[in-house]
Structure formats: C-alpha cells, structure tokens
Amino acid sequence: MDFYQSAGTLVLGSRLRRLGERFLSEVSKVYEAKGIEFDPSWFPVFYLLDEHKKLSMRDISDQLNVSHSAVSQLTTALIKKKLLKVEKDENDGRKRLILFTEKGEELVRNSKPIWASIQLSMKEITEQNECQILKELKILETSLTEKSLSERVLDNLEK
C-alpha cells in the first residue's frame, strides 16, 4: 500500500503539497513546450489583473487570501521583469495600483489558450473519474476557516 494512502489524514498537507508541486511542474512543461516564459505561480495575480485591469496590493492580497508581503514580493519581481507596472490611484494619491505593461498584456494573450486548455483538461480528468475535488476542497477550507486545525488538535489533546 502507498505510504500516503496508509497514513491517511495524518499526511494530508504533505499529499496536497506533493500534488500541487506535480501540477505546477506539469503546467510548467506546457509553457516551456510552447516557448512561453510564464511561471505558474504568477497565475493568480495575472488572472485577477486580467479580470480587473488595475488592483491595489491590498485588493490582490485580500482576493487571493495571502499576505500583503507575499503579494509585494511577487509584484516587485514582476515589475523587475517589466510585466507589471505601478501607478497612483486618481482618487487616492497614497494608493498604488498594479497593472500590466504591454509586455505583460502580451504574455496574458499568449497564455490564455493554455489556461483554457488546462481548464478543459482538468474538467476531463475530474469528470472522467467522477472526482469532486473542488467541492471537497471548499468544504475543507470552510471547515478550517470556522475552526483552525491547530485549535482542533489542541482541543482534542485536552480531552
């Protein structure tokens, strides 16, 4: 029996990380095969900016549910690559908005067919196997938002 299956929920985090790394590796191969320099870790920011055109770092961090620091590090790296730029908000001069450069917009245009193909391929995989992973992940995320794993573990230790 596979270690991950035999250890069950004890290694859920490790198993999800392993699956995520495998997924990102496979997606990277697609971009590479198509000659597109795109790191899959950029996708959430690119997707949001493609949808909204301009967002503050706070808006990005809130929508992705990640730290402001993580968004700042990623956007700074993408600005250095000349894929994103910063401009001041017309209504609030203190607020900085993130948006695509022309180079970034071109990268999005070139990447969109890959995004559509990834979505189609994942739909095929999940439907073929009657997989409800997105539904199950939503249930898990909601449960962990209501009460964290650490709180649950500590409560169970006290019983």
Mean pLDDT (whole number) for 90-109? 91
Task: Tell me how far CA of residue 26 lies from CA of 22, 29, 40, 149, in angstroms.
Answer: 6, 5, 10, 30
Q: What is the pLDDT of the chain when averaged over all its residues?
A: 91
C-alpha–C-alpha distance, residues 104 and 84, integer Å: 6
Task: Give the predicted TM-score (pTM) of the model.
Answer: 0.82
Average pLDDT estimate for 25-41: 96
Tokens 């964290």 locate to 148
Task: Give the per-residue pLDDT at 12.
Answer: 84
Burial of 39 (0-12, 13-18, 19+ CB in 10 A): middle
Mean pLDDT of 128-136: 81
Q: What is the pLDDT of residue 94?
A: 79
Q: pLDDT > 70: what percent of the chain? A: 99
The one-letter amino acid code at 144 reads: L
> How far is 122 from 30, CA to CA, in rounded Å?
14
Say what the pLDDT of residue 1 is: 59
Residue 127 has pLDDT above 90, yes or no: no
- pLDDT score, position 103: 98
Q: What is the mean pLDDT of residues 8-29?
A: 89
Q: How confident is the model at residue 56 (pLDDT cuts 50, 70, 90)?
A: very high
| φ and ψ of 88, to 5 deg | -80, 145
Q: What is the Cα–Cα distance from 157 to 119, expressed in whole angstroms?
A: 42
